[in-house]
Structure 1
Amino acid sequence: MSEIKKEIARKSIHFTGLIYIPAYIYLGREVVLLGIFAALTFSAVFEVLRLKYGLLGAIAREYERNKIGAYIYFGIAAFFVTLFFPVDACFASILVSILGDGVGGIIKRLNFPHSRLSATIVMFLLPFLVSLLLLKPFPSLVACSAGAMVERIERVRGHYLQDNITVPITAAVAYYSVNYFLP
């Protein structure tokens, strides 16, 4: 399977997380928290099986094949963001980490000149434009900028940073902080 086809397959799973926003709107925070907890529980069981039997090896990235999958980290971040932040910060977090990172990840794999920079721009711009339908513009601008910048940081002192944790939490903190100080 080509690299771009693998990335599209990975991100199609990734994009299912956008159900979070309508679920939160129509079912409420408590139901979403229960849903995330249930998904994390199922994912933990699946992760044990995936690591033991090599499931999904065709679409897993090389460095992920023998490590905990990114969806576990994202689920943990989404759970804590939902638990500790108001709805608008949660939506900003989800848009940046699912929509921005999803489309940005596909663009990054296209391997054209400046694809990494283009991916970062898309990771900022796409969730920002969509957020204008739901959220305040300036806090969204800051959250999308912060999330895109944090995604660019891959390692700190030789340690790999898991962007599936750092991006959603950074976007939520950025949105909440700006919204708190500039209501």
Structure 2
Amino acid sequence: MKRSYLIFQIFILFGLSAYVLYNRNVFTAAVMSLLLAALSLINKNHIVYYRRLKYIFGVSIFVVLFQVVFNRTVPMDIRLANGLLTSFKLFSISFLVLWFTSNISFSQLVESLNFLKPDLRLLIIMSLSLIPLIFKELEMIQTIQKSRAVKFNFFSVHKIIPALLVPLLHRIFQQAQNLSLAIISRGYE
């Protein structure tokens, strides 16, 4: 019974994600984002949501600005609509994944994915297990940079990107290389 409920949750997650990704209406995407944000307020761990989503908020603002400034082949209203649609999709997918991962334990997730092929199951489990590590690395790098007197505010984007993203990408690629070597040494190829 519990396993079938977990599989049902996974299919709901995939179904809602597919709906969000294939939606082309800005209003529907905004309503979906607001409904998912309201749903996250009901959860007891809503502070965890907003602590993780503050990074996604910055990325979504960057996406909107990028669409408005660099996509000059279409009129301004369509550029703004495309940027907002992409940022609402990003928020919705992030809320869905955070909601799913906060309501299910890792062992339950592994157990519920037994219907998939082993290679695909390993890929999904490894991807989901690395997401919290990326956030921990980002917080650690941010603490290190603050100790070096780097000030993080909205107007110093030119300082934030090299100070956070370059060390974060370096550590992520280093961990991915270590993980791939560990997998190869255990005979998974």
Q: Which has more radius of gyration? A: 2
Q: TM-score higher than 0.5 here?
A: no
